[in-house]
Amino acid sequence: MKTDPYHDRESITELLKQYNNLRNGANSIFLDEEAFEKIIDYFDDQDDLGRALEAAETAIEYYPYSGALLIRKADLLLATRKYNEALQMLERAELFDSTDINLFILKTDAYLAMDMQEKAVDVLEQAIHSFEGNEKIELLFELADVYDDYEEFDKVFDCLKVILEEDPTNEEALYKICFWTDFTGRNEESIRLHLEIIDEHPYSELAWFNLAAAYQGLKLYEKAIDAYLYAIVIDEKFDYAYRNIGDAYIRLRKYKEAIEALEKVLELSKPEEVIYEAIGHCYDRLKNFAQARFHYRKALHLNPDESKLHYKIACTYYNEGQWASAAKQLESALKIHRLQAEYNLLMGECKLQLNELKEAVQYLSTAVRVRPRNISGWEALIRCLYSAEFYTEAKQQTLAALEHTNNKAIFYYYLSAILFAMNKSKEALLYLQKALSSAPKHLKKFIQLNPSILQNSLVVDIIAEHKKNR
């Protein structure tokens, strides 16, 4: 039945008139508990806490044994930060009515406001044993929130697990436990719990989804996909299931299947940067660089300030050998994040390919300065200096690379090549021997730097001797 707002306004106006007459000493006025509660609520809704408290105190004068009114006054005392007074009022209320769930929720709020978490937990844990059904579940949610506030995250999971044991189809608990399973890593328990729920309620799409998410947390991607598909059979518009299926297929490197799932997400929900980016990543892996770019640009349209997307577009151009187009995208990325090592490194590589050696050195120098332990940055810088025939500078940077990377063997190869270029063959051979002893697999990089080095008989002899000794 619909309420009449006009009648409600008339009713509260009449109640307020009677209440004011009562306050002014009119002995003929009688207000019952419900009337007082309406008056208190009216002042509370008007944010007039002073008059609301005044009304509660007046009500209690007439009904001193009313647990509901005492609880209402305690609620107002909490709102005015009078926590000890509120607790005293709640203790008094409990004498008259210990079955009102609000009594325990307000006690909890008071203790939390006073930073007395243990007492708040005690109140709720004791109360939980006194209630059944929905009220017990409400108290368990309250307890979960307390544990969340105080970062006892495993206990949050425990509360939600108990709720689902009481009410296996509770949607709020099913939504929340999915997050906390992932956060706490308690995937095995979640799997057992949700298998039990599914056994009893096989058409619960949330239970299937949570089961799948727990499998995914254990990297059991095939099982996760199967469970997500059950969720989708029950609810064909379950976009988050399609989203997670896409992620699982990406983990399995099944990029075509991932694209199909992620495109379904776009059909069912509003466009999202992360979905377009994921589809772009899949096409990137399939070496369909044009489609990868198309989807990265879609993502970029939704978030124009995301430098990473400019970088990813640049990578697709780089992979196609379109150095100038890659450089143009990197310029956009570097305007947003000038000192990002990866952007400077790729720009340096592009400039090297475009034979713009001076600029290449500048970008690569920035990359190694920003991330001095990154081996690929040093490699690119040294190759660039070598190509430009700046051998003295190349040698200095190679020595710096050895220092910053804990003497990685690749740089002994580079040092050897540089010394050969500087006509210091004796020293160069020593470093080549050292490099071969440390990491023979990197020999190909030494040769790539200067393929004509194999015309040097001393180099060929050392390589042959090393292979023989191996």
Residue 423 CB partners (closer than 8 Å, separation 6+): none
Query: How many CB atoms neighbour CB 118 within 10 A?
Result: 9
Inform me whether the pLDDT recorded for 218 exceeds 90: yes
Give the CA-trace dihedral at 449, 450, 456, 459, to 10 degrees: 10
Confidence at 121, pLDDT banded by 50, 70, 90: confident
pLDDT in tens, 166-216: 999 999 999 999 999 999 999 999 999 999 999 999 999 999 999 999 999
CB contact at 8 A, 216 and 224: yes
Measured between alpha carbons, how far is 252 from 207 in angstroms, rounded to an integer?
23
Inform me whether the pLDDT recorded for 21 exceeds 80: no
DSSP string, 374-434: -HHHHHHHHHHHHHTT-HHHHHHHHHHHHHHTTS-THHHHHHHHHHHHTT-HHHHHHHHHH
65 vs 8, residue with greater confidence: 65
For the chain, helix, strand, coil in percent to 5 are 80, 0, 20
Inform me whether the pLDDT recorded for 163 exceeds 90: yes
CB contact at 8 A, 426 and 400: no
Check residue 199 and give its pLDDT: 96
334 vs 461, residue with greater confidence: 334
Confidence at 4, pLDDT banded by 50, 70, 90: very low
- Let me know the angle formed at the C-alpha of 127 by 121 and 129, rounded to the nearest 5 degrees: 115
pLDDT in tens, 381-419: 999 999 889 999 999 999 999 999 999 999 999 999 999
Inform me whether the pLDDT recorded for 36 exceeds 80: no
CB contact at 8 A, 432 and 445: no
Measured between alpha carbons, how far is 34 from 40 in angstroms, rounded to an integer?
10
The pTM of the whole model exceeds 0.85: no
Q: Which long-range contacts (C-beta less than 8 Å, at least 24 apart) are formed by 90-93?
A: 93/67
Closest of 316, 346, 319, 341 to residue 330, by C-alpha: 346
Check residue 113 and give its pLDDT: 86
Confidence at 77, pLDDT banded by 50, 70, 90: confident
Q: Copy the structure tokens of residue 297.
A: 């640009």
- Let me know the angle formed at the C-alpha of 183 by 181 and 188, rounded to the nearest 5 degrees: 35
Measured between alpha carbons, how far is 354 from 348 in angstroms, rounded to an integer?
10
CB contact at 8 A, 42 and 11: no
Check residue 172 and give its pLDDT: 96
Segment 49-59 shows an average pLDDT of: 77
Check residue 129 and give its pLDDT: 81
Q: Which whole-number Å values give the CA distances from 224 to 40, 42, 282, 413, in the listed order?
A: 53, 52, 19, 47
- Let me know the angle formed at the C-alpha of 350 by 333 and 355, rounded to the nearest 5 degrees: 140
Check residue 1 and give its pLDDT: 38
Closest of 83, 39, 78 to residue 62, by C-alpha: 39
Phi/psi class of residue 167: alpha, beta or left (left: φ > 0; alpha: ψ in -120 to 50)? beta
Segment 432-460 shows an average pLDDT of: 90
The number of C-alpha atoms within 13 Å of 116 and in the hemisphere containing its C-beta is 14
pLDDT in tens, 249-294: 999 999 999 999 999 999 999 999 999 999 999 999 999 999 999 9
Check residue 2 and give its pLDDT: 45
Q: Which long-range contacts (C-beta less than 8 Å, at least 24 apart) are formed by 91-94?
A: 93/67, 94/67
Please give the share of the chain, as a percent, with pLDDT higher than 70.
97
Check residue 360 and give its pLDDT: 94
Measured between alpha carbons, how far is 82 from 73 in angstroms, rounded to an integer?
11
Whose tokens are 């990137």? That residue is 284
CB contact at 8 A, 324 and 353: no
